Amino acid sequence: MEVALLQGAPPGGEVFSRVGEIPFDTERKRMSVICDTPRGHMLYCKGALESVLPLCSAILLQGQPQPLNEAAVPACWQCRSRWPNRACG
């Protein structure tokens, strides 16, 4: 998961100030941070695919955001099963 976060980081490695945090817990199966970005406050999260995927409306494929529709969801699960320690897309 950390690889995916790094690949999705802004060019130049710009660091945004953190303004809030929701720590990992076993019920949510994810952790989240809220950062102050040039586009306003953004929430970034990482965690179990079954917890994070239903919250998503888009995915990043080859550096381009694409809508996350029902047809793309099985591909996300396949990617996870093929490369558990690598970023997909």
Kindly provide the residue ranges of all beta strands, DSSP E only, lying in the chain, ordered along the sequence: 17-25, 30-37, 40-47, 58-61, 64-67
Kindly report, residue by residue over 6-19, the tens digit of the pLDDT.
666 666 767 889 99
Kindly report, residue by residue over 64-87, the tens digit of the pLDDT.
888 988 888 887 887 777 665 555
For the chain, domain boundaries: 2-82
pTM: 0.64
The CATH fold assigned to 2-82 is Calcium-transporting ATPase, cytoplasmic domain N (3.40.1110)
Average pLDDT across the chain, whole number: 81
Q: Which pLDDT belongs to residue 7?
A: 64
The Cβ of residue 59 has, within 10 Å, a number of other Cβ atoms equal to: 19
